[in-house]
Chains A and B, each alone.
Chain A
């Protein structure tokens, strides 16, 4: 008998954390307000004292708190990352989510009892890689990169002895996570180092010949004629020209949604579902977490799931099952 899928929910700030708890989260994940986590955007994340209060609130409600320390520490300046691990242990979070090998090593040596999850940013996409992190750092859960098909995930789970967590809803990295410098190539700030991808600080919109250009750094990511609503210039969801053809070369503006795949994910041996969106507000978190709570509970009872209820929250009103379907590749 497989266990019910655990619902891991985003908390970009204390209000979103409360919303996630109220909507039925099993776990919330969050980060400190600095470059130690991969959603280092202004106005987001937690101070030490906010984390302390949040852990108390979450534990009172039987909800776990996972702290993402999932950027790659800066050479010669690893202090802030080590401090983040120390503080996580001190404050009593339920696990840390790490990507860097050196930081995994530090956490394992310094706080052996602090539970460790492997971040999606480590891009652990195969058996030997996962075994490495389990053997070397005793990680208890691996967040799988968004590159694997459902049959590959199933096969993987048959060969490893560690929990796996997969992305269930929200933003969709189309490149292997932690191995993408597209955004830093044109902005100078990096997902791996500074924890930001396609950051708002580098976004601007410009009128040109009756169309609106959305730019990231000095590069145009998309162009919208008057009658088309302008979207946010996330680099890999832009329109470009290759071989004379204009297209969404990498991916359309779309959201990942696996609401209709819960039985398959359970059968594939997955332990937990991650909802992306620490940059999202309370209302969004509330709605998505609520829908997944109902769906996970229904699927566990063998009942049908209302799969279309989140369409309105999807980017561009479009949804995809991403790499879980082989045809996506």
Chain B
């Protein structure tokens, strides 16, 4: 059995090209991750910004021995967006992560990763996707342990499985841009206001409870998924890849902690304590894994 692979999911936020490039350069140089996903998943309007630096980033990551996977858009509506995905599917020398059925379909017969935005809730769907060339499936974050385990049983020896273990949960995607809407703008004339919030725009309830994060057309959880305590269970189920979803923080430190957790060098408590220290004010959640509200954090043994 190969050792558990640590992956870094795509940056979901609208960072400047410099920030985006420097982030990945540092990941390449310092982060103990095996694979790095890059590419715009949320809003096609952002793509041109990091286009000029993407080749450098890929080169740097590959030079550091990281596998690079190109993630596609989650919601594809316009002809322009569709054509962009067609181009990627046709021309990319990199492995593609398909985040919409259109990309799955375009990649049929060639190895690809099925991303977490594609609904793979059961072994029936898994079987079908494997027959089309899925070499790995990143499972939807909403699945409870029981379902992950069932799907892992069906996947064993046939395809890799990935689970997000850290980062905000991408709860919803829309045609409407809530960042623009909150500035009384429409998506077409958005002035890229989402770039103001490098970790998303905080949304609170009217009685002041932290609730969500708006990232353009995407709505994320305010809480940060934390499955450090569930790594052993996930490994035993047969999960092969463990995804960290970037926040605007020291992701090298996050990666080091999870690497230490996966290698058994640090206990789950040590990993969590270290990350709680790194990320003051951030609440952790693991509820979906335990079959309850996704916002909840359940202590081990509870």
Contacts and interface: CB of A to CB of B under 8 A. Distances in A.
Interface of A: 72-76, 78, 99-103, 105-106, 122-129, 131-133, 136, 147-148, 152, 155, 174-176, 178-182, 184-188, 190, 192-193, 208, 213, 217-223, 236, 239-243, 245-247, 249-251, 323, 326-329
Classify the secondary structure of B's interface with A: mixed
B37 interface: no
Nearest to B108: A132
Contacts of B150: 75-76
Contacts of B219: 175, 182, 250
Interface string B145-180: 011101101100000000000000101111111101
Among A122, A155, A188, A221: residue with most chain B CB under 10 A: A188
A101 B129 CA distance: 9
A241 B177 CA distance: 16
Interface residues of B, number: 75
Interface string B177-209: 110111000111000000000000111111111
A122 B81 CA distance: 19
Interface string B103-140: 11110000000000101011111111100000000000
Interface stretch (B16-24, B241-249, B285-293): B285-293
Nearest to A217: B293
A221 B124 contact: no
Contacts of B293: 184-188, 217-218
A155 B82 CA distance: 12
B206 A220 contact: yes
Contact of B169 (A132, A181, A221): A181
Among B106, B122, B182: residue with most chain A CB under 10 A: B122
11 contacts: A76-B147, A100-B122, A100-B125, A102-B127, A128-B76, A181-B171, A186-B295, A239-B206, A240-B211, A242-B214, A328-B176
B5 interface: no
Among A124, A175, A222, A239: residue with most chain B CB under 10 A: A175
A323 B176 contact: yes
B124 A103 contact: yes
A101 B101 CA distance: 10
B185 to A, nearest CB: 10
B75 interface: yes
B127 A74 contact: no
A184 to B, nearest CB: 6
Given A125-B75, A127-B102, A185-B295, 20 more contacts: A75-B121, A75-B146, A100-B119, A102-B128, A128-B82, A132-B104, A136-B128, A178-B119, A179-B172, A180-B171, A180-B173, A182-B172, A185-B171, A185-B294, A219-B209, A219-B295, A241-B204, A242-B203, A250-B176, A329-B176
B206 A240 contact: yes
A175 B173 contact: yes
B120 to A, nearest CB: 8
A219 B123 contact: no
B209 A75 contact: no
Given A102-B123, A102-B126, A125 B143 contact: no
A326 B180 CA distance: 14
B221 interface: yes
10 interchain residue pairs of minimum CB distance: A102-B124, A76-B150, A128-B102, A147-B175, A72-B121, A75-B150, A102-B125, A132-B105, A329-B187, A75-B147
Nearest to B223: A185
A262 to B, nearest CB: 22
B186 A132 contact: no
Contacts of A213: 206-207
Contacts of A75: 121-123, 143, 146-148, 150-151, 154
Among A76, A122, A187: residue with most chain B CB under 10 A: A76
A126 B76 contact: yes
Given A72-B122, A129-B102, A148 B175 contact: yes
B60 interface: no
Nearest to B152: A75
Nearest to A189: B293
